[in-house]
């Protein structure tokens, strides 16, 4: 609190201490900092880098300038349109690109850069609207705010608004999901969230924050030039965000104000100032990978243990009991190789099934098929009689198919509480719900019981601080908290000691009784199979070789010929 009050005091006093010129200059970088804060949401939050962030800033500036000129007198009342337009554009662009390619790596970054370059060409050549190369001129200022000091405070208010929105989004459930997405997109999908929509929402939010800065830029400067939508400002925003610290809330603003103002001061005074700025940038990136905001991490921080707020019961999942999961004559190919060869298998009643077979038999491929990560070239996959071949993994997760992967699939930098919260939100939330911080207080009888059985699930640690066995339990707990109708477990005891294996066996048996669902386990440990399996399916070369109880399977000559069980 004291640090916030000190910062507020500096912002208020700066125009009086530094004079009109610096009030004007820093006010300008406040507006750029709003756009950089949006960039930080995507890059430092959701884990993808938009290289064309200036597109949103310039779009808002041009639209605000047009409204101020065209609707003189009414222009200021229409400025919210200019703020929201980049957000809508970001949502539309994000959905179009992410749903087309399904990834947010270099391809996405280059697409955004190409859009900024395209906007620059449009701004140069559309003289009737944009003013061409010379820019849109004669934009009136905001009424009653004509001097430098007033403009400075308006810019400061705009930046504070942008940071407040960013802070709210980071603290809301959607902010937790963005951080989870950046660390393990596959796990987020398997928990029932549409990651393409999550990324598009982050891109829209970045557009909104840039729109705040761009909208105020037009009346403050009185002119909007094509450079505002081009490569130069886009590159500068990336550099400023990296220097300040992309993952920190205030990092992008700090980088923009410090580096931007420093560059403006050196530009006219020091020959070769670009070289000095480049050296400064390289030094910060090497010495402070977390940016200037990372310096805060070198000082003691308060304990993360705080007063716990009252819990709220999460709504029950709207799933209609158990449902048969069946595969009929499914083929999955990799080139000319058949991984699954006319596979037909059914998990048609509650209980524990084990799927066994030698390496390469197609067990994990079968799970990938059942969870929607693979589509069959031929055949049918059905849940409760409904064909689910075309459904995406997040749709199948919401339909009640949960999955635990062989290697613990968690979010290293998220706390244990966030892991369980994400699992609780799965299948229980809509888009609007993810903006409500109260979801952090959700709990359920299943999550309470799991925390009682495993006290470490109530710890204040991150997943990276857990042992391998604890991470296995954590992922298994996440899958159980979703309360699925079908639970797919891929070698849940891999890498565990005999004692840990015995504990996992007890947990699975308890969950089967507690949920009354269908649990399918891939396992090589025949001791575990004998302990748990009510029915066993044996795969060989992508086909079903045999089915039955453990005694029947062990006596089957075909099974004995191709598969030898092993114990730990």
In tens, the pLDDT along 23-73 reads 788 889 999 999 999 999 999 999 999 999 999 999 999 999 999 998 987
Rounded CA separation 231/239 (Å): 12
> What backbone phi and psi angles, to 5 degrees, belong to 107?
-60, -50
Q: What is the 3 state secondary structure string of 253-272?
A: HHHHHHHHHHHHHHHCCCCC
β-partners of residue 518 are 351, 486
Which residues fall within 8 angstroms of residue 553, CB to CB, at 6 or more apart? 356, 536, 538, 546, 547, 559
Strand pairing of 378-383 and 325-334? Answer: antiparallel
pLDDT in tens, 218-245: 999 999 999 999 999 999 999 999 999 9
| pLDDT tens-place string over residues 289-347 | 888 887 765 444 444 443 456 788 888 776 655 678 999 999 998 887 889 989 999 99
Counting residues of the chain whose pLDDT is more than 70, the rounded percentage is 91
Quick: pLDDT tens for 432-457.
Answer: 889 999 999 999 999 999 999 999 99
> Does residue 539 register a pLDDT over 80?
yes
| Separation between Cα atoms, residue 450 and residue 457, nearest integer Å | 8
Q: What gap in Å lies between CA 435 and CA 427, rounded to an integer?
A: 16
pLDDT at 567: 41
Can you give the pLDDT at residue 304? 43
Rounded to whole angstroms, what are the CA distances from 398 to 50, 316, 328, 374, 409? 30, 13, 22, 17, 19
Strands of the sheet with 386-387, listed across from one edge: 337-347, 325-334, 378-383, 386-387
User: What SS3 state is found at 488?
Assistant: strand
Q: What pLDDT does 303 receive?
A: 41
Alpha-carbon separation of residue 197 from 48, 95, 440 (angstroms): 14, 7, 21
Cβ pair 175, 49 in contact under 8 A: no
Task: Give one word for 152, left, alpha or beta, with left for phi > 0 and alpha for psi -120 to 50.
Answer: alpha
C-beta separation of 226 from 70 below 8 A: no
Q: Report yes or no: 411 and 419 within 8 Å, Cβ to Cβ.
A: yes
Domains, the chain: 19-230 (no CATH), 325-562 (3.40.50.300)
173-183 and 416-425 helices, crossing angle to 10°: 110
Euclidean distance between CA atoms 431 and 419, whole angstroms: 19
Q: How far is CA 210 from the centre of its chain?
A: 20
User: What is the C-alpha separation between 339 and 383, in angstroms, rounded?
Assistant: 22
User: Does residue 537 contact residue 547 with C-beta atoms inside 8 Å?
Assistant: yes
Q: Which of 139-143, 296-300, 366-370 has the highest mean pLDDT?
A: 366-370
Which residues, at least 6 apart from 412, have a Cβ–Cβ distance to it below 8 Å?
183, 462, 463, 464
Specify the DSSP class assigned to residue 45.
Answer: I
Q: Which residue has the higher pLDDT, 432 or 519?
A: 519
Q: Specify the pTM.
A: 0.91
Report how far residue 357's alpha carbon sits from residue 230's, in angstroms, rounded to the nearest whole number: 57
């Amino acid at each position: 609190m004291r640090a916030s009050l000190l910062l507020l005091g500096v912002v208020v006093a700066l125009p009086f201490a530094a004079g009109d010129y610096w009030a004007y200059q820093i006010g300008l970088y406040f507006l750029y900092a709003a756009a950089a804060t949006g960039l930080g949401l995507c890059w430092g939050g959701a884990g993808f880098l938009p290289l064309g962030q200036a597109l949103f800033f310039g779009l808002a500036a041009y639209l605000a300038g047009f409204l101020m000129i065209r609707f003189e007198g009414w222009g200021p009342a229409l400025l919210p349109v200019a703020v929201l337009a980049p957000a809508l554009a970001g949502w539309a662009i994000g959905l179009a690109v992410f749903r087309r390619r399904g990834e947010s790596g270099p391809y996405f970054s280059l697409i955004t850069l190409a859009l900024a370059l395209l906007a620059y060409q449009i701004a140069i050549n559309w003289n009737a609207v944009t003013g061409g190369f010379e820019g849109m001129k004669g934009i009136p200022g905001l009424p009653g705010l004509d001097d430098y000091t007033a403009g400075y405070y308006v810019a400061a208010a705009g930046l504070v608004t942008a940071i407040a929105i960013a802070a709210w989004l980071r603290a809301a459930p959607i902010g937790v999901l963005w951080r989870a997405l950046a660390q393990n997109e596959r796990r987020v999908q398997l928990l029932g969230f549409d990651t393409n929509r999550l990324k598009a929402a982050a891109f829209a939010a970045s557009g909104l924050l840039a729109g705040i800065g761009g909208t105020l830029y037009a009346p403050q400067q009185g002119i909007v030039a094509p450079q505002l939508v081009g490569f130069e400002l886009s590159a500068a925003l990336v550099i400023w965000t990296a220097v300040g610290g992309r993952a920190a809330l205030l990092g992008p603003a700090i980088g923009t104000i410090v580096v931007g103002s420093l560059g403006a001061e050196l530009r006219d005074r020091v020959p070769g100032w670009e070289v000095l700025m480049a050296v400064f940038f390289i030094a910060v990136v090497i010495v402070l990978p977390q940016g200037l905001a990372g310096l805060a991490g070198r000082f003691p921080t308060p304990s993360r243990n705080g007063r716990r707020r009252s819990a709220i019961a999460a709504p029950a999942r709207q799933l209609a009991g158990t449902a048969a999961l069946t595969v009929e004559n499914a083929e999955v190919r990799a080139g000319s190789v058949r991984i699954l060869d006319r596979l037909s298998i059914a998990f048609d009643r509650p209980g524990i099934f084990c799927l066994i077979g030698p390496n390469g038999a197609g067990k994990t491929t079968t799970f990938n098929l059942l969870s929607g990560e693979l589509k069959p070239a031929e055949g049918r996959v059905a849940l409760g009689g409904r064909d689910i071949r075309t459904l995406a993994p997040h749709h199948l997760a919401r339909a009640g198919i949960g999955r635990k992967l062989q290697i613990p699939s968690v979010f290293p930098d998220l706390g244990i509480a966030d892991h369980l919260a994400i699992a609780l939100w799965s299948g229980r939330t809509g888009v609007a719900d993810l903006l409500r911080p109260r979801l952090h207080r959700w709990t359920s009888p299943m999550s309470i019981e799991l925390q009682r059985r495993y006290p470490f699930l109530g710890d204040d640690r991150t997943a990276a601080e857990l042992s391998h066995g604890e991470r296995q339990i954590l992922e298994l707990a996440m899958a159980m908290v979703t309360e699925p109708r079908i639970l797919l477990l891929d070698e849940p005891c891999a890498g565990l000691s005999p004692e840990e294996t015995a504990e996992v066996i007890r947990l699975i048996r308890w969950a089967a009784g507690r949920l009354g669902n269908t649990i399918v386990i891939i396992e090589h440990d025949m001791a575990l199979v004998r302990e748990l399996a009510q029915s066993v399916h044996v795969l060989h070369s992508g086909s079903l070789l045999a089915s039955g109880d453990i005694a029947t399977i062990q006596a089957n000559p075909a099974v004995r010929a191709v598969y030898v069980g092993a114990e730990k």
